[in-house]
Amino acid sequence: MRELLVGSLALSAADWGLLFTHFAMLSLLAVGGAITTAPDMQRFVVREHGWLSDAQFTGSVALAQAAPGPNVLFVAVIGFNIGGLAGVLATMLGTLVPSTLLAYGISRWGERNRQSRLLRTFTTGMAPLTLGLLAATGWILLAPTHPSWATGVLVAGTIVFMLRTAWSPLWPIAAGAVAGVMGWV
């Protein structure tokens, strides 16, 4: 089987196909954005295949989230850290192509059936699912830092704040920054 040597990793054609296919499958589950599928990405590339360490995965997400640009950039950084430009192509095409085609088809259908009770019910029901996926993502990204009870209080407070107010999310981000600077979390 042909292998492509990238850094210290030798990925076979089957591995590249598996990487693309897994990210393509996740793209169809990415309700609320690609970041909501980060827990399964971590399971797949870190625990199942060992292509990245926990620290590399978390660093990839942190670097991409700190950079300006679209939220989905973390997928490219993960791909790059797995296999250079070939990894970027595998993860980004896998993430973008299926969800883009599905969104295009569904938006055309939704426009024609905008008054459907089933459609309104479906979209209302997706909000709790998105919140749950985002909470799971936060949990996975906090794991390598060995969070304390104070971190749990801060996360829970942020969730309650966001659900109960219409204030900007910058306030809980600022609270987290102050807590970090003070050494509380």
In a domain, 80, yes or no: yes
In a domain, 57, yes or no: yes
> Is residue 22 situated within a structural domain?
yes
The boundaries of the domain holding residue 21 are 3-117
Residue pLDDT tens, the chain, 185 long = 344 444 445 789 999 999 999 999 999 988 778 888 999 999 999 999 999 999 999 999 999 988 888 889 999 999 999 999 999 999 999 999 998 999 899 889 888 988 899 888 988 888 888 878 877 877 777 777 777 777 778 878 888 888 898 888 888 888 888 888 888 77
Half-sphere CA count of 150, side-chain side, radius 13 A: 10
106 belongs to a structural domain: yes
Domain count, the chain: 1
User: Looking at the domain assignment, is residue 19 inside a domain?
Assistant: yes
Print the SS3 string covering 113-167.
CCCCHHHHHHHHHHHHHHHHHHHHHHHHHHHHHCCCHHHHHHHHHHHHHHHHCCC
Element (H, E) at 99: helix 73-112
Does residue 127 lie within any of the structural domains?
A: no
What is the spatial distance between Cα 1 and Cα 9, in angstroms, rounded to a whole number? Answer: 15
Let me know if residue 164 belongs to a domain.
no
Residue 167 lies in a domain: no
Tokens of 72: 């989905």
